[in-house]
Each structure stands twice: as structure tokens, then as C-alpha cells.
Chains A and B, each alone.
Chain A
Amino acid sequence: MNKKKHYEHMPARFQRPSITTIIGLTAFVTLFILGVTHAQLSFDRIFSGITNMLRFLSSAFPPDPSRITAISNAMYETFQIALVGTAIGVVLSVPIALLASTNTSPHFSIRVITRGIVSTLRTIPDLIWALIFVISVGLGPLAGILTIIVDTIGFCARFFSERIEEIQKGPSQALESTGATKIGVISGSIIPLGFPSFVATSLFAVEKSIRSAVVLGLVGAGGIGVELSTSFTLRRYDEALMIVILILVVVIIVEQISSAIRKKVI
């Protein structure tokens, strides 16, 4: 066999890199170098950064537990914001994901519109949503809950929808063949088959929401973020460290619980 002809059957990308690959790589390297230059990364800056960090740590130690009750209450509020927001967000994500999935959406246009909405919710960062809701409903936990709901829908509806589209159509066809209605087929096959993945995604959403809820306080959307912001502004770094430790403990506990549930469900 002609050797040259034989190699012609090899996929093009194995013969030589494509123009797209070369352009992509060049763009990436250029952006990386520009990024590093723009950040003015220098030995002096890193050295002074480490010195400042050590100064902060020395003034933060030992952590100050004097306001532990107030801090704990704020942390509890953060946890509530995350839990309530995520629960509502997850529940709303299921029908939204069904409308956004190719195999369950009643119409192409509904799917496109729903996907567009979900993408928009996901693209706008949670801090911006928090600012919008603080303006809309005022300072406090309600703005935080609304932010978490929107953030959870952006995250969960997308992953739920991807899982729904991955579900093999065989079991649904089997139920359809019994004369089941569309709702019956979705409730009897799509939801149960997607359930383990929905639970896993929802638990990730809870973890994500707790971290988000902490930061939301910084813009006045309730929770421990307000306490953290105040401590830093007043340079009470020992109190700030106490808050950080408490956040860390809660986040680790939630992650452990969610990981245990995930293992059980999957």
C-alpha cells in the first residue's frame, strides 16, 4: 500500500496542528503574558505582601471570642439564608430544567427562552444580584435569600437539564408504550432516573450557597458578611479571625454532611 495514501486516513489533527489550534494557543500565551505584566508581579511586591500578611496574622492572633454569641447568631442567619434560598432554588430548578431540556421541553421556542433565562441568571455574578435585591427589597436576609434562589436556579437548572438530556430514552419509551401521559412519563422515568444526580447537584449547591451567603453580607444582604466587613473596617483583626474560623467550621461540617448524603444516594 502507498504509504502516503495510507496516512491520509489519519485524523487531520494528528497530521499537523490546525490553524484554529495555532491561533488559540497564540492567543492564550499572549493573554497570559499580558495578564502577568499587568499584575505587576515582582519579587518586591511578593515580599512586601508576605510581610503584610504576617503583620495581619500577628495582630489577628489569638482570635477574639468575646462577641461569639453575636457572631454565632449572624452565622446562623447566613446558614438559614443559604438553606432556604437553596431549597426554593432547587425546587424551582426542576420544572425549569424540564422546560430547558431537548427531550422534555414541550416546544423548541420554550426551550430556547428557558435556556436563555437560565444562562442570564448564571452569567450575572451573585454579588451583583445581591446589590439588585438590596435596592429592590432593602437591606437584610430577604435580599440574601432572593440572591441565593437566583444563583441556585442558574447553577442547578443547568446541571439538572444536562442530566435530563443524558437520560436514555428507553425507559421513557417503555412507559410511553403503556399509554402513559407526558407528565406520567416524566414523573415515572425522567425524575427517578435523574434523582441521584439532582441530589448530588443540590448538595453542591448548598455548599456553594453557604460560601456565597457569607460574601453577600458584605453588600448588606444579611448574615455574617456584615460582621466580617465591620471587623475589617474597624481593623479588629482578632475578631475577624474568629469569624473566619467559625465560617470554616460551618463550611466543613456542611461539606462533610453533604458528602455523606451524596455517597448514600449515589
Chain B
Amino acid sequence: MNALSVREVSKVFKDGTEALSEVSFDIKAGEGVVLLGHNGSGKSTMFKCISGFEKTSSGEIYIGKDETTFLSDRKYRPIRKKVGMVFQNFHLIYNLSVFQNVLFGAMGQSRNFLKVSAPFASKKDREKAMDCLKRVGLDHLAKRRSDQLSGGQQQRVAIARMLMQDPELVLADEPIASLDPKAGREVMELLWEIVDERKLTVLCILHQTDIAMEFGERLIGLNKGKLVLDDAKKNISKDDLNMLYFNVDEKHGGIV
């Protein structure tokens, strides 16, 4: 069964820029896929289309069995609950506690905001938030303000928030781009461990080809909005990756 299906998706912005051009791929449940491509290749647009923050111009996107294309925010909400997201800049509420940030992961479970506010949250949710924090090794920092943590720790909190959501599909948008190599590797290891142990499906955007080759079972590559690479890791050579990043014209910010 496919956890995510992208069928001939195109995205043309109002200024005429074609960010995605008839991109198609399927991700099976439990698969760990890395999406690669230079800046401006359409990765982030793809990510936003899948997560519903951007509407596609044409094509279809399915999350599990649910078609998400052209759904209103309201109708998309129940589907979003199944999709956990990890962002490049963590996107924590910086002036709230680590614990509160993790609790917010359960926000989609209830229409009542107070149920995920630390003083009013149920015992079950509070214990679950602490379990999620323990899983990422930060239960001892639950009371801290999230902006008092290092970048690596903040990304771990974001992963704990994603865990709190109980997702089936994880979308990670350059989760280690803001981190130093050591912290970045630790975050990737943690993310992949969690994905493996919970048998989650993951689509992770990365720039680091070495990390992509180490963690991804399958690699998808975009260039100028077109799908130019989609294969299992074992079939991909270094030349394929070099082509993806360096055979780019100057207009798109790469090296010729």
C-alpha cells in the first residue's frame, strides 16, 4: 500500500515560474525516501504541495487513500493529523516551555485548544508528552524555555512534537540544514531510529548527498521542477548525484 502518491503534479506560480512539472512518484508504507535537488529545483514546493500549504496547479496527491488535491483547509485538517512534519528551522514557540511545545503536537486531536495547554491537559497527554521527550533524550529539559536549547536540542523537541502527533507519514524539510555536522548526524540518526521502530513512512528533503546515501533506502531527485532521479540507493552512483547538483545552469544558482 502506498503511504504517499504524487501523480503528475505541476505547480506554476502567478509570475509564470514553473516550480514543478508533471512530477510523479509513490512511496510505500514504511519506506524511507530522501528527496534531493539544488536550490530552486522544486523540493520545497513539492513539500508544501504535499503538506497542503501550497495548492498544485494540476495533478493529484494522495496521502494513504485520501486525495488531498484542492481540499479546503477545513477538509484537509483530518488528513494533516496523520502527517508529522519536521522543519529546517524547528518552528518551536520559542518563548514557551519545551514541554508545552511537545504537548502542542496533540493539537489536532481536539478542537478544544485548552486540552493541549499545559495546566489543563489530561494526565494521559502529559505523560505521553514526557514519554516523547524521553524518547528524544530531553525529558530532563522539559521545563526549559525552548529558545534556551541548542539547535540540535530544539530539533529533537520538534521531533518529540511530531511523535506526540502519532503520525503515519513523516515529512522532514531539510531537518539538519541549520545544524553543525555532528548535531545534524545525531538528529538524522534519532529520526531514522524512531521512523524504524514505529514503522513510519518518511520523505526527507536533504542537501547532503553523503547523509542521503547513508540513510535513504531510495533517493528521488528533482532538477528544474522535473523528476530526474528515482531509484533505490544501491542503484545510484556518485555520478548520478553529481549530475543532480552540478549540471545546473547559472540562472538557478548552481555551478555549470
Contacts and interface: CB of A to CB of B under 8 A. Distances in A.
B73 to A, nearest CB: 8
A192 B96 contact: yes
A181 B95 contact: no
Contacts of B93: 171, 188-189, 192-193
Contacts of A176: 53, 80
B161 interface: yes
B91 A180 contact: no
Interface residues of A, number: 21
Given A175-B104, A179-B107, A184 B83 contact: no
B107 A188 contact: yes
Contacts of B80: 176-179
Contact of B85 (A174, A182, A188): A174
A180 to B, nearest CB: 4
Contacts of B105: 178
Contacts of B84: 177-178
Contacts of A188: 93, 104, 107, 113, 116
A259 interface: no
Nearest to B103: A188
A64 to B, nearest CB: 50
B76 to A, nearest CB: 9
Interface string A196-238: 1000000000000000000000000000000000000000000
Contacts of B92: 171, 174
A196 B83 CA distance: 32
A187 B116 CA distance: 11
Given A170-B91, A174-B161, A179 B77 contact: yes
Interface in A155-190: 170-171, 173-184, 187-189
A100 B245 CA distance: 44
Contacts of B106: 178
A179 B85 contact: no
Contacts of B77: 179-181
A178 B164 CA distance: 9
Contacts of A180: 77, 104, 107-108, 113
B80 to A, nearest CB: 4
From A174, A182, A192, residue with most partner B Cβ within 10 Å? A174
A206 to B, nearest CB: 22
Contacts of A179: 77-81, 107-109, 165
B70 interface: no
Given A178-B165, A179-B108, A173 B113 contact: no
A174 B158 contact: yes
Nearest to B158: A174
Nearest to A266: B95
B87 interface: yes
Nearest to B171: A177
Contacts of A175: 104, 107
B256 to A, nearest CB: 23
Interface in B26-63: 51, 53
A184 B105 CA distance: 11
From B78, B84, B87, residue with most partner A Cβ within 10 Å? B87
A26 to B, nearest CB: 39
B89 interface: yes
Given A175-B104, A179-B108, A192 B78 contact: no
A182 B107 CA distance: 11
Contacts of B13: none
Interface string A102-129: 0000000000000000000000000000
Interface of B: 51, 53, 73, 77-81, 83-85, 87, 89, 91-96, 104-109, 111, 113, 116, 158, 161, 165
Given A175-B107, A184-B111, A184-B113, 13 more contacts: A170-B91, A174-B92, A176-B53, A178-B161, A179-B79, A179-B109, A180-B113, A182-B73, A183-B113, A187-B113, A188-B104, A189-B93, A192-B93
8 contacts: A171-B92, A175-B104, A179-B77, A179-B165, A182-B73, A184-B116, A192-B96, A193-B94
Interface of A: 170-171, 173-184, 187-189, 192-193, 195-196
